[in-house]
A and B are shown apart, each in its own frame.
Chain A
Amino acid sequence: MAHITLNQYLQQVLEAIDSRDGAFCAEMLSFKHPHVANPRLQLSSPEEKSMHLHSFQAHKEENWALPIMFAATLDLRIFANNAEQQLQSKGKGKVGDMLEKAAEQLMSCFRVCASDNRAGIDDSKKWGMLFLINQLFKIYFKINKLHLCKPLIRAIDSSNLKDDYSTAQRVTYKYYVGRKAMFDSDFKQAEEYLAFSFTHCHRSCQRNKRLILIYLLPVKMLLGHMPTHQLLKKYDLMQFADVTKAVSEGNLLLLNEALVKHETFFIRCGIFLILEKLKIITYRNLFKKVYHLLKTHQLPLDAFLVALKMMKVEDVDIDEVQCILANLIYMGHIKGYISHQHQKLVVSKQNPFPPLSSVS
């Protein structure tokens, strides 16, 4: 394959098209295919591929060309990515410009697919929607335009095919939707999507599973599920180990240290701000310990102040303690109230610290 002539190559492509063998044709056209490395085929310029994006639309009532579109759009995105990087390294161009242009193209393909209402379900180009959406997600997440995802998600939500796409596509889709939900602080939904993604991701895709876990872990922790040490080890996510330990122990100090230590990693993954919210859980666990130590339902606020100081929380005062407690009560992590007059936290006699999974 690496040494065929241009004619041979084109012949093969043509045959694939004639026989409507979309998958093979896609393989031929993809820039992942070995023909790209073949110097004798260098005439086949990028122009060639993009044309297929357009010819695609005209094929009414058939969808055999979907694989071609997949290959072409995938290449398009990768090209845009590379172009973006090259431009950036040269200090030229607007950030995300290339990617946005690619997204525009993908959108036009998406519109074609989404508007294919006439064809029967088997021949519908709607089967291409999810793939395109996933590609678009990748771009939007990269250029930080998550709000653009909304209409796409809506399109899938209202689609009757949403559960019938290939597992691979659904895993990707749910991964991104889960991430988006996480950023939107909709942790319940994020957990649901990311968990689906994780459990359905193919076992050979360890890297993908790890990626999913990076977002699934914080969400799970926020909802009160702590990962086991083995899991973290298996997926090489030991950065979370200390965080997990700190949260479950209510060890605010350790948590702060862990966050600082792996800050770069967390920030790069975009989960730093989520992990930070674990502090609230940590407060809760810490205060729960105070409660267990004092064994009373009327807890002096000073006790919490001492606990916080022990955790080396600087310049904290009684007002701030009230503030933290107020938040915990407001969010449902503590059942009780503060008596401002007596400077005491009065907790419920039954289940004053409800399990995290039942909260929020």
Chain B
Amino acid sequence: MAANAAQQAPTPNWPYGSNSSGESKVHENPEWEKARQALASISKSQNSTKTSPTNHTTQQTGPYQATDSSAMQQQQQQYYQQWYQQNQQQYAGYPYPYNYYYPMPPYGGPYPPGQYGVPGGYQTPATPTGQAPAMPMMEDQSIRPGYQGYQTPAYQPPQQQGPGQGLYGGPGRVDAKKPNNSNMNKGGQQLWQRMKQAPGSGAVKFNIQKRPYVMTNQNFPSGDQAPGLASPTATNPSPGSVAATSTTSTGAAQTRPQDWPQAMKEYVQRCFTACESEEDKDRTEKVLKDLLQSRLQDGSAYTIDWTREPLPDLKTKQSRWEAVPQRSQENAIGRGGATRGRLGARLGNYRNVFSQRSPSSSSSHSSRSSSRSPSPHSRHRDRSRHHRSDSGSQSDSSMSSDPRLPLSRRQQKGGRGRGAGRERGRGAAGERGRGRGKANRGRRNMEDLASGIGKKRKGGNAGLDFHDPNREAKKQSRAARFHTKLRTEPLVLNINVFDLPNGTQEGLSWDECPIVGTCQDITKNYLRLTCAPDPATVRPISVLRKSLIAVKTHWKSNQDYLYACEQMKSIRQDLTVQGVRTDFTVEVYETHARIALEKGDHEEFNQCQTQLKALYKDCSSDNVGEFTSYRLIYYIFTKNSGDLTTELVYLTPELRADPCVAHALELRNAWALGNFHRFFKLYQNAPRMAAYLIDKFVERERNLALRAILKTFRPSVPVEYVQSSLAFSDLDSCLAFLTGLGVTFTPSDPSKIDCKVSSASLTTL
């Protein structure tokens, strides 16, 4: 146990990763679900989880599983949504509700050729190499639409892993189990679907995919090959692939759970029985999947003595994946931050798949194509597909309620340029459907195979990608090749990943990629950067120096703040972009801060102050004291005693001796003690531009002071005293201030304030 535990902890991912999470996983899962169901008694919790609709899953399953399932749900939802979208568009003829609830039906055999139109889409996927699995790249877009349509079916199975799928595998079973599936929305739907489905369709599909799955590793490298190839390949399936297809299909047939040798099933059961924990089971599941697939494919599953077969040694298996844990960790850190625990790592796979929707979608697409053909195989596939769709629909209810759905959908569409792809896929599909004869089928087989491979690869990618620390980098480099701008991560992921920007941020840090501008314009309008700066529009420092002088003179003569602010901002931007942090930078910020202060633009002023504070650490300036005093005064304004205290901590004796700082400290002292007399005296003697800043809250202080005065003096106080105490420049402004507060003057002598009466009225204000 201990050993197991040890292995588990570091490797939570590997099972999934190894599976090549993408489609292959999807396809395989249904079978496995069946197997599991058979073992229901043994692995209670797991089974129960899967059996019940996704919603319920959470509670029943262990913590990890619960999370997984939810993640899957999300995936499902999105996929579903995608699919649904496409479906709707493609099969416009269908009434909305129909599509909605029974997403799969369109693909079913009964459908008109139009449905099969999708195949065109699937061709693309078929090329294993061509579609860079990882890549939702622009180039792929055209292809992608097709995939996406397929996505749903492919993905749903994993989520639905539940018994329902297993049931579907065999027609007879379907009926029996249906009740389970239909729990939520469907009674009638399922029936309908069933009718449409060709009997026995489900299993085949899985098989095909499995095959590819086995090949995953081999294919995987190819997957990384130039994505550009994808589309061409897609259209021209290689002849070689056909042959492969046939084998695949046979293999697929074998894989059907119903066909499994009893001994093998028992073996599986034994394996699960040996598990002591959920993690064990998970791991075993993965190992078994590998093992059984290979056995089934090479046929040895039917020949070997399962009773003697040793239980899978998790350890040895693991060695294969030793690298994974590390990767996953890295990944987890990069993406989810360290916070994502073991669970996170595990989830990671799902999330990842999720995030990589486009790749997966492409793969799913291919899978769909396979199911499409009318051939017996295809029928099986259709069936399986139906299962999936079914499951999809089940989950649908929960999904549709998910507010994120629309968002994700939009993201997918917009972000990936799916729309265009979809169109294409549709067109291709139409053509295909019509042409689907035997020849077509052959072709399709080829495609299937290819797609399977691609899928495999893709799936592998999806799964492995997650672990691949360089994935982002690769993606970026690939994107760079095509001069396309890629989102570093799908938006959806961002929701879960607060840490994501890490990598990007650092990558984008101006310090690390300095550019040198070539623009010679003295003036330049400020435009907020939305993409990487172009050196041609950035001014070098020599030009910026002239710019600063020009702005200063312009400001002095015209006092046009809008113009000055914009020019200063563009200068600041150019400096930032070029990573310039010199005395000149300080000067620019100081200048802008002063101008902003003069005009009372506190937003800009604060921005400059923040920058200056950081800049002063590196660059000395004669004005450190001045701006430190501004900061202190600003804290008085915001009454931020906490920051004020912190600021005091860092005041060096030299800084305290600075006249500006000394003034600010005195001001603070007077302010803290309510010594308005001293406060306003200091206000009148404020050095440099401090008065502008104090103006910001002088009214507030006057108000307070007046209250104290009115409460203290009896019976009256001369207006003159108030004027001088509160530092009004002239009597009129003082009177305006007083009357504004509703102060009452002594009837006999208007130059005196009736304190008692005024105090009462003032307190009620």
Contacts and interface: CB of A to CB of B under 8 A. Distances in A.
B248 to A, nearest CB: 39
A105 B341 CA distance: 11
Interface stretch (A8-16, A152-160, A169-177, A195-203): A8-16
A340 B708 contact: no
Contact of A59 (B9, B63, B641, B644): B63
Nearest to B753: A340
Contact of B67 (A43, A44, A54): A54
Given A57-B63, A268-B649, A340-B716, A47 B711 contact: no
Given A51-B342, A60-B59, A319-B677, A325 B712 contact: yes
B45 to A, nearest CB: 13
A179 B333 CA distance: 36
Contacts of B329: 45, 47
Given A53-B339, A183-B642, A7 B6 contact: yes
Interface in A99-121: 101, 104-105, 108
Given A45-B329, A53-B339, A276 B673 contact: yes
Given A58-B67, A267-B648, A273-B645, A323 B676 contact: yes
Contacts of B1: 11, 14
Contact of A144 (B64, B332, B643): B643
Contacts of B67: 54, 58
B208 interface: no
A297 interface: no
A229 B642 CA distance: 29
Interface string B634-676: 0000000111111011000000000000000000010011111
Given A14-B2, A58-B67, A338-B713, A320 B338 contact: no
B98 interface: no
Contacts of B498: 104
A8 B641 CA distance: 52
A36 B727 CA distance: 65
Contacts of A48: 9, 341-342
Contacts of A272: 645, 648
Given A14-B2, A267-B645, A330 B672 contact: no
B646 A144 contact: yes
B716 A55 contact: no
Given A322-B677, A338-B713, A55 B708 contact: no
Chief secondary structure at chain A's binding surface: helix
Nearest to B343: A54
Interface in B1-35: 1-3, 5-6, 9-10
Contact of A11 (B5, B644, B669, B724): B5
Interface in B697-748: 707-709, 711-718, 721, 724-725
Contacts, number: 155
A329 B674 CA distance: 12
Given A101-B337, A272-B645, A47 B345 contact: yes
B66 A58 contact: yes
Given A51-B343, A340-B716, A58 B672 contact: no
Interface residues on A, range: 35 or more
Interface string B64-75: 101100000000
B340 interface: yes
A273 B676 CA distance: 17
Contacts of B707: 330
A222 to B, nearest CB: 13
B678 A320 contact: yes
B125 interface: no
Given A60-B59, A277-B672, A339 B714 contact: yes
B645 A337 contact: no
A46 interface: yes
Contacts of A330: 674, 707-708, 711-712
Contact of B10 (A43, A56, A108, A337): A43
Contacts of B62: 58
Nearest to B676: A323
Nearest to A56: B63
Interface residues of B, number: 58
A286 to B, nearest CB: 14
A58 B63 contact: yes
A357 interface: no
A218 B117 CA distance: 81
A267 B644 CA distance: 10
A218 to B, nearest CB: 13
A58 B64 contact: yes
Interface string A32-53: 0000000000011111111111
Interface string B670-689: 00111111100000000000
B8 to A, nearest CB: 9
Contacts of B714: 337-339, 346
A282 to B, nearest CB: 10
Contacts of B678: 320, 323
B257 interface: no
A322 B677 CA distance: 9
B64 A55 contact: yes
Contact of A273 (B58, B59, B672, B713): B672
Given A276-B673, A319-B725, A326-B708, A47 B342 contact: yes
Nearest to A280: B673
A338 B712 contact: yes
B166 interface: no
Nearest to A145: B642
A106 to B, nearest CB: 10
Contacts of B227: none
A324 to B, nearest CB: 7
Interface string A318-353: 011011111101110000011111000010000000
A276 B669 CA distance: 8
Contacts of A324: 675
Interface string B145-181: 0000000000000000000000000000000000000
Nearest to B342: A51
Given A55-B341, A323-B725, 10 more contacts: A7-B5, A14-B1, A47-B333, A52-B342, A54-B339, A104-B339, A144-B642, A146-B642, A183-B642, A273-B672
Q: What 9 pairs across the A-B complex have the smallest Cβ distances?
A: A51-B341, A58-B63, A51-B342, A323-B677, A7-B2, A326-B712, A337-B714, A330-B708, A11-B2
12 contacts: A10-B2, A43-B10, A48-B342, A54-B63, A56-B63, A58-B67, A183-B641, A322-B712, A326-B712, A329-B708, A339-B715, A346-B714
Interface of B: 1-3, 5-6, 9-10, 58-59, 62-64, 66-67, 329, 332-333, 337-345, 498-499, 641-646, 648-649, 669, 672-678, 707-709, 711-718, 721, 724-725
